[in-house]
Structures are given as structure tokens and as C-alpha cells.
Structure 1
């Protein structure tokens, strides 16, 4: 089955729009984006891996994680949950952080993830608005699209195991 992956960088609005289909029901896809034990299994593009240091999925909560390289170098990010409508949408503020979960630099993005259930497919719509054009351009030219696609492919593989174990 061919699953839709659409990625558009709109410089005029400083926004990246992503549409991605997953061959799983809404409950599984929602859990894959909101539970640390599942995120850690797919989010990082291989050969990198993800290590959640803190996850508090509620409005006002946060997800603090490290992308870990094959050489065990860690790059930290902080996601603050702004609005959550269960099994529908959640919005976040994303920043890079230090090893203690403190935001570093002034660059950030505001992200809205919306999930739509279909018969056999769940569609994810992502709207990622950057604070400035330079940040969007840096992300777009440093492998963000490719890394996102690889992470989603990891999730496709994981969802196959979760669906068969359901």
C-alpha cells in the first residue's frame, strides 16, 4: 500500500505543512505520537535513536528528549504542550534545549498536529510555524524533510507489529 507523504515549505508564511497517512487506526497512531515508550521506538531517523528524558502529555506539560547519534552524542529538544484535544489534535511549542531541559537560543516553532481517522488509514496533518524565516531555511536545508520521512517509515514498521499484536 502506498501511503501519502506530502511536505511543503512555505517561506511566505514561515510554515512547513506535512500530510502523512498511516495504515493503522486512530488509537494506535495517536498513542504513537503521545506515549514516550512508543515514540522512543520510531521517532529518530536511523541510525540515530531517541531517548525520552521526561514526558508529561497534558496541557502545560512537556516532552524532553535526546536524539542520540551512533557515537552516543546527544542533541536535546524540548516540546511544551499548549493545547490537547484527545484523539483529534495537539499543539506544541518546540525548541532546542540543553541537557537539563532548558531552552537554548531564541529559535522556536509552534506545531499543530491534527489526526483524521479513515476506514483503514489515519491521516496526520502537521502545521509547523517557525519564529523566523532563517530557522525554517536552516531546518529545510539540514535534512528535516528526509529525517521526518525516515522517522515516519520507522513508524510504519512499528505499526505493523502493533496492529498484528492488537
Structure 2
């Protein structure tokens, strides 16, 4: 797997003591996804979740301090046990794209990002690489980067 990091992207690599099937399933099984895909203290709910190439989702992460954060997106690519690519677009409760500034986000945050998650297995352990098309420094400043780390920590509890 490619380890070079671009300056305009988030890059996270984590290794899980679990089979590639278990780790990939955490991303593609709605019952598992709802258990881990929210940062500490938050919950997620889906209005729409169709995990297949061309499938769309409409989700809301609820934060007891900051309120609700709605997103929509589309699964661009799903290669079993290898890769998942999807878009993340800030939206309103009705699923309409919204300017991130209008919901209190940083003015530099893009309205749409692309997330690419790749998986590889070695001796029963699975390495996951996550890339998001936004600078890691901006993602750290806004809380998106630490949120990914928290969510992957929640996922670890499900797969290991």
C-alpha cells in the first residue's frame, strides 16, 4: 500500500488484530457501522444508507455539545476486502448540500471531500489506510482528524 502523504490530505494508518473480512465488514455492514462511526460522546443515525457502488447515504452525527451535523455522500467504489471510496458533503436535514460556513464550520473547510479507505492483510492482522481530500492541518484544527482517530478506536473494539 502507498505510504506517501500529500500535503492536501488527511492520512491515517491503523493495524487491527483482526481478519480483513472483519475489518471490511465493519465498514459495509450497517449494523456494525452504526456502532462505531461517530466520535467520542456522539451518536450517528442514517436516513439513507445504501452501501454499494453508486449507493448514497444521508447521515447525522449528533454531538451533545455542538448539535447535529448532517452529511450526504455517495459510494464511488467498493472492492471487497480491498477498497472503499466515498464522498462526504455537508448537508441539511433534508439532504441538500450546504455551505460549511452556514453551519459554523471553518471557512476553509471544503463542502465536499472524498474518503478512500484501503485494506491489506498480513498474518491475520489488517492494515487500514484512510485518506481524505482535505489538509491534515485543517482537519486537526476543525476536529475532523481527531474524530477519525476516535471512530477507528471504536471500530477496533468491534473487530478485535
TM-score normalised per structure 2: 0.81
Report what 1:110 is aligned to.
114
How far is the alpha carbon of 1:61 from its aligned partner? Answer: 0.8
Could you give the per-residue CA deviations for residues 115-144 of structure 1, whole angstroms, max 9, x where no partner exists? 1112221111112123xx6xx654220222
Moved over 2 A (4+): 8-11, 70-73, 136-140
How far is the alpha carbon of 1:9 from its aligned partner? Answer: 7.2
Q: Give the 3-state SS of the residue equivalent to 2:27 in structure 1.
A: helix
Report what 1:95 is aligned to.
89
Could you give the per-residue CA deviations for residues 28-50 of structure 1, whole angstroms, max 9, x where no partner exists? 11111122211111111121111
The 1-side partners of 2:79 and 2:30 are apart by 18
| 1:20 aligns to 2:22 (yes or no) | no
* Stretch moving more, 71-80 or 45-54: 71-80
RMSD: 2.3
Within the candidate set 93, 117, 123, 1:119 is matched to: 123
Within the candidate set 70, 78, 86, 2:80 is matched to: 86
The 1-side partners of 2:130 and 2:153 are apart by 16
TM-score normalised per structure 1: 0.78
| 1:129 aligns to 2:123 (yes or no) | no
The 1-side partners of 2:137 and 2:65 are apart by 27
Report what 1:164 is aligned to.
none
Structure 1 segments unaligned to the other structure (5+ residues): 1-7, 161-166
The 2-side partners of 1:36 and 1:101 are apart by 19
Within the candidate set 24, 29, 33, 2:27 is matched to: 33
The 1-side partners of 2:5 and 2:111 are apart by 17
How far is the alpha carbon of 1:70 from its aligned partner? Answer: 2.7
| 1:58 aligns to 2:52 (yes or no) | yes
Structure 2 segments unaligned to the other structure (5+ residues): 100-109
Q: Give the 3-state SS of the residue equivalent to 2:133 in structure 1.
A: strand
Report what 1:43 is aligned to.
37
Residues 17 and 125, structure 1, Cα contact 8 Å, conserved in 2: yes
How far is the alpha carbon of 1:10 from its aligned partner? Answer: 4.2
